[in-house]
Each structure stands twice: as structure tokens, then as C-alpha cells.
Structure 1
Amino acid sequence: MSPTAESLSQQAHRRLIGILGLLLPLLLFIFAGLRHTVGLPAWTPLNSISAYYYTGAVAIFVGVLFALALFLLTYPGYKGVIADRLLGLVGGTAAILVALFPTSAPDGLSAPTWWSPYMRTVHYLSAVVLFVAFILFAIWLFRKSNIPRRGDRPLEKRRRDDICLASGIIMIASVLWAASSMFTHAPIFIPESIAIVAFAV
């Protein structure tokens, strides 16, 4: 069966989101360096991906999150399977909330006058929901098939399923690594970046 124009468009959209996800950590670092923010160290990774909201890379941070939200909110999934649409809606909403409710400002900067502490809580909770959605997409929804037996599926599909499973496992490990910072107070830029890149793959 030849792919429809709609399915090809969905594949192209997903590929674009993947490219943006792969490049996001690097783009944030480069643009924050080129458009240096006084009060922050130049050309030095910040403690988290979210901290780049307060740098010259804010447009990239917010833009990629909204592009990701659009993809998730419009993800059709399998016809008649409500879990696909529900997870897309939850993940897309979480991505929007992460963009609209920034975390607290990095050390050395003052928060905007409109910022309130509750925004940090909304940001953190939304980020957790978003990463959980990433993981569920990778280890569950992206691996679904109309062919029940794995052995009967095309080789390309089986390989793609294995990649998705590996990506999901990497994301779980990265999220746990980032969560450990609650006790170690270590930067989480690297584990966050690994999780985002793993989903993009």
C-alpha cells in the first residue's frame, strides 16, 4: 500500500521535530554564547535546558517547545485508539506549559517582574509530564503495529522498534539521573540533553 499524502506529511513533520530535538542543546548553547547575557558566564553550559529561557537563546527554547507541542497535539496515532490521542494531548499541553511558565532565573540574574514562584512549580511538573510522555511514546506507542506478531513485521519496522525501545530506556536513565540532582544539586543540562536527543532519534 502506497503512503498517503497525509501520512507522508506526518512523517515529514516528525522528521523535522526530530532534527530540532537533536540540535536543540547545541543551538541553545551557541545562540546563548553569541547573544551573551550579562550576569551569566559566556560559552559555558548552564545548569539546565530550562535556564536558557533567560538567555539570548530564548526564542529557540520557546519556538522548539511550541513546534513539539504542535506535533504532539496533532499526532493522529492509530485510528480508534484513544490512548494515542490522549497521550499526544497531554504531552503537547505539557510542552506549552513548560514554555509559558519558566523556571526561576539562574544565579546572577533577576527574575522578570511578572514572574512568581508558582511558575517554577508549574514548569517542573509540566517538564516531568512531558518527559514521561516522551518515554511512553518511545517504548509503547511508536512501537505499535497492525501486525500482532513481531516476527511477521518487516525488518525495517523491527529495527525501528528496537531503536525506540533503546531510546526509551536511555530517557528513563537520563530522567533518573536528572532527578538525582534534588539530592546532589548537580547541573542537569547533560541528562536533559541526552533525554531530548534520545527522543529525537
Structure 2
Amino acid sequence: MEMSPKPGSHAQLGRTFIAQQRVISVLSFFLPLFLITWSVLSGEGLRGSLSEYYYTPVRDIFVGVLCALSLFFWSYRGYHPHKAELRADRVVAKIASVSAALVALAPLKPRQVGECTLLQCVFGEQATDWVHNVAAVIFMTSLATFCLVLFPMTAIQRPDLGRRLVIYGICGTVIVAAMLLMVLWKFLPVDVYFALGHYKPIFMLETMALFAFSIAWLLRSRAVEDAALAQYDD
């Protein structure tokens, strides 16, 4: 007689999936937090944006975390409680993966002349800078899509569903608002631009967006874990 898989093996697969989700949350939170810590301890102050840290001693951290996020997003299998073949979050995760990798590997145009990166040498600094900015917008849009569309669409029916939907909405709204404010920043009058530049608004908005996504993703992973535990306990 054919033996069915043991519940323990399913539980192990579930723990692996949940751990993968939590790594994405931790990395999203860790990146700006580490850069802030380095800026304070080094005494060099905050940069204008997360991307500007590419040209600092912590470049390896910036690139490494983004590449790690890219790999985890690419391997993300998605979750849909009823229609496993219609996992739209897989597609968005793949888009987030590619865009995160491009943000890491296609840096901003340097302020000083120096050695070029591979993409800068092949395509030129201006084109690479354009790729970086477009990829950053796509990446942030993917994160907002998870919070505002995909998480609510595949919401797990648990007693705290209403609270989770509200938090997803708040986190997604923070990301969208941060993106809109970053666009608005480019069109401010010159005097206002330089007056507010001291407060590093782009860096702060990017940090808020990543923190918001980290919260939403962690909440989602906890909901998946609770649903899995409830199923195995039944």
C-alpha cells in the first residue's frame, strides 16, 4: 500500500516557506537601518538617498542586501488559499527580483570621475543611471502592489483579518505616498529644494517605504504561519 507523506514533512516545508518570507522582511528592514547606523558611527552623516551609499565603504552591504532580496523574491513561490495556479504574487515577485538586482548592479551616476562598473563601462554612466532610477520605481511599485493588492486579494481568513487588512492598506499607502513625494521633490523650487535638502528627504522617504513593506510582509508571514499551525493541529 502506498504511503502518504507524513504531516511532519509538510510542516517542514511550511516552516521553510515561512522562514523565506521572514528573511525578506528582515532584509527590507535591515538595509536602511544599517546604513543609518554606519552614517552615525562614521560621523559622515546621512547620504541623500539609499542609492548614494554605493559610493561609500558600505557599498558591499548595499549591493549584497539588494542581491539577497532579489534571490529571495525570485525563489518566492507565492500563496493562494484556493487557486494555486493563479498566483499573481509570483509574477510581481519576479518583477521585484529583477528590479532589485538592477538597482544594485546599475548604480547612480557618480559625482566624481572614477573607475566605471561593468554596466557603466558597457552602456555609459548616463544610461546606467537611467536604468537605476527606472528599476527603483518598478521595485517600489512592486512592494506597494503586494501591500495594496496581493495581500488583501489572498487574505487568510483568520479572526484578525480586519486588522491585517487595515495594516496592509496603511503600509501600501505609505509606500505610494513616499513615491509621490519623491517625484514632487524633483519639481520643487530651487530655494526650497536646497533648504529642505539638509534633512535628506529622499533617504527618509525610501526608508519609510522599506520599513512599511517590512511590517506588511512580516504580518503576512505570521498569518501564513498561524493558518498552517491551525491546519496541523486539527
What is the CA–CA distance in structure 1 between the aligned matches of 2:37 and 2:140, rounded to whole Å?
24
Return the offset for 1:4: 3.1
Deviation per residue, 1:49-85 (Å, 9 max, x gap):
0000111111111111112112211221232114222
Q: Which moved more, 1:179-188 or 1:67-76?
A: 179-188
Structure 1 stretches of at least 4 aligned residues deviating more than 4 Å after TM superposition: none
Partner of 1:179: 183
Deviation per residue, 1:131-185 (Å, 9 max, x gap):
00000011111223376xxxxx212343223211110011111111111121134
Alignment of 1:25-174 (within 5 A): 25-32=32-39, 42-77=43-78, 78=80, 79-105=84-110, 107=111, 109-114=112-117, 115=120, 116-145=125-154, 153-174=157-178
Change (3 A) 1:20 1:176: same
Identity fraction in percent: 30
Change (3 A) 1:182 1:20: same
Partner of 1:150: none
Match of 2:24 among 17, 24, 30: 17
Return the offset for 1:44: 0.9
**Structure 1 length normalisation: TM-score?**
0.83
Larger relative contact order (C-alpha < 8 A, sep ≥ 6)? 2
Residue ranges of structure 1 left out of the alignment (5+ in a row): 37-41, 148-152
Return the offset for 1:32: 4.9
Q: How many residue pairs get matched?
A: 188
Residue ranges of structure 2 left out of the alignment (5+ in a row): 1-6, 216-234
- Tell whether the 8 Å contact from 1:103 to 1:119 is kept in structure 2 after alignment: yes
- Tell whether the 8 Å contact from 1:32 to 1:57 is kept in structure 2 after alignment: no
Letter in 2 for 1:69: S
1:195 paired to 2:204: no
**Structure 2 length normalisation: TM-score?**
0.72
Letter in 2 for 1:180: L
Structure with bigger helix share is 2
Letter in 1 for 2:149: W
Q: Which moved more, 1:12-21 or 1:85-94?
A: 12-21
Return the offset for 1:29: 2.8
What is the CA–CA distance in structure 1 between the aligned matches of 2:20 and 2:87, rounded to whole Å?
21
What is the CA–CA distance in structure 2 between the aligned matches of 1:32 and 1:110, rounded to whole Å?
23
- The alignment's C-alpha RMSD in Å is 2.2
Partner of 1:39: none
